Amino acid sequence: MTGLNRSFAGLGLGVAFALGALAAAPAMAQETIKVGILHSLSGTMAISETTLKDTMLFLIEQQNAAGGVLGKQLEPVVVDIASDWPLAAELARQLIEVDNVDVVFGCWTSVCRKSVLPVFEELNSLLFYPVQYEGEESQRNVFYTGASPNQQAIPAVDYLMNEEGVERWVLAGTDYVYPQTTNKILEQYLKDKGVAAEDIMINYTPFGHSDWQTIVSDIKTFGSAGKKTAVVSTINGDANVPFYRELGNQGVAAEDIPVVAFSVGEEELSGFDTTPLVGHLAAWNYFMSVDTPENAEFIEAWQTFIGSTDRVTNDPMEAHYIGFNLWVKAVEAAGSTEADAVIDSIVGLETPNLTGGTATMLANHHITKPVLIGEIQDDGQFFVVWETEDLVPGDAWSDFLPESKMLEADWTAPINCGNYNTETKTCIGSAS
C-alpha cells in the first residue's frame, strides 16, 4: 500500500483529476432513479407474476412520460427469481447492493417475502409487496399493498356463511406459510362461530401439484353429509389449472360445493377453459369488471402499453398501481428516495384506487381496501355479487389468534414497532 501511495503522490495533478473523476462517478450513477422488479418469470409462479413485471414496466413508462420523479427518469431493473425462494433473497441483495436500486416491487408468495425480508431489513431498503397474505407481520422496510386476512379471507367466510348458508368447510391450500397461517386463522374463526371440528377439512398440496383426482373425490365425499359445503382455496400458481379441471371432470358444480379462491383472478382464468368454473367465486379487492372511470382509463392504458385488447387486469396489478403511486408521492413529499425519508413521509398519504375509493397508507404499513366477492363468468371475468360498504383497514395481526390479538403495529413515534403489545405496553422484539 505504501508503494501505491508513493506512486499516487508522484502523479501530482493526475491524482487530483482521478479523485475528481471518482467523486463525479456517484453523481453520474444517480442520473436515474432505479426501481427493482423482483418477480418470477419462470417456474410455477410465472403464471401469476409475469404480468406483475409487465405492470411495473407500464407504470414506470407512464411516470417517465409525466416527467419522472424529482426531475429524474425512472430506470427499471428486472430480475427473474424463477419461483426459487433462496434465489429471491440473493437477487434482492443484488438489486440493492450491486444495481443500487432505490426501491423494489416484488414477490408473490409469502415464502418469497419471508426469504427476502431480512435482506431489506439489513440493507435498509424498501419492498412493496402486492399480494394478499396471511398477516402476522409488520416490518419497517415492507409496505403491504395486498390484502391481510381481515380484508379477504374473513369477509369471504362471512359471505359464504351468511349468504350461502355454508356449514361445512374445506380449507384447501398450497403447502407453505400463507395458506397454513390463513387457515389457522380461519379454523379458529369458524370454531368461534360455532362450527364443529368435524365440519372442517384441511388439505395441503405442494407447489405445482397436478394430480387432483383423489383430493376432489374426498371433497365430494365430505360435501355429501347433508350440510351445505364450500371450499376455501388458498391454492397458488399453476396448480389451480388441474384443480379446477378435475372439479369439472367429477361434476363438482358451484351450486353444490362452491369454491371461493384467494389466489385465482383474471390472469389465471385467461389460461384455460372457464366452463367448469362458472359460478365459483373469488374474493379480492379489485376486479377488472368494476365499472369506474379510473378503472376504464387504467385498462385502456394497460392494453395500449401491452399491445393487446385481450390482456386482462387483476387485483395484484392494482396493488402495484397503488403501491407505486404511494411511493412516488412519498418520495416527492420527502424530496428524497432515501429509505428512512420515504418511511417517515409515506404514512397517511392517500392515492385513488381503481374501484372508486381511496387507498391510505396506515401506520402499520398496510392500506385501506374495499372487499369484493366475484362470481366467475364464462368469459373469464367476475360478476361482483357482494362488497363491503366501507373501506377496510388492513390488520397486521389477527384478532382471532390468542397469541396475536393483543399486538398492533405502528411505525410512527412514539411506538415505532411492528409488534407492540397493548397489554404490557412494550415492543416485543422482532417485527414478524
CA–CA distance, 409 with 386 (Å, rounded to integer): 29
pTM score, whole prediction: 0.89
In eight-state DSSP terms, residue 145 is: -
Strands 103-106 and 127-129: parallel
Q: Three-state SS for 418? A: strand
Q: Three-state SS for 211? A: coil
Q: Three-state SS for 166? A: coil
Q: Please give the chain's pLDDT, 432 residues, in tens.
A: 434 343 333 434 343 333 444 444 443 446 999 999 999 999 999 989 999 999 999 999 999 999 999 999 999 999 999 999 999 999 999 999 999 999 999 999 999 999 999 999 999 999 999 999 999 999 999 999 999 999 999 999 999 999 999 999 999 999 999 999 999 999 999 999 999 999 999 999 999 999 999 999 999 999 999 999 999 999 998 899 899 999 999 999 999 999 999 989 998 888 778 888 899 999 999 999 999 999 999 999 999 999 999 999 999 999 999 999 999 999 999 999 999 999 999 999 999 999 999 999 999 999 999 999 999 999 999 999 999 999 999 999 999 999 999 999 999 999 999 999 999 999 987 544
Q: Are 423 and 397 in contact (CB under 8 A)?
A: no
CA distances from 226 to 166, 199, 229, 373, 430 (A): 11, 11, 9, 25, 46
Could you tell me the three cell numbers for 338?
Answer: 432515501
Predicted confidence at residue 430, as pLDDT, reads 53
Residue ranges and CATH numbers for the domains of the chain are 150-284 (3.40.50.2300)
Report the interhelical angle of 293-306 vs 315-334 (nearest 10°): 100
> Which H, E and C letters describe 315-354, residue by residue?
HHHHHHHHHHHHHHHHHHHHCCCCHHHHHHHHCCCEEECC
Predicted confidence at residue 215, as pLDDT, reads 97
190-227, pLDDT tens digit by residue?
A: 999 999 999 999 999 999 999 999 999 999 999 999 99
CA distances from 210 to 186, 237, 238, 383 (A): 25, 11, 9, 28
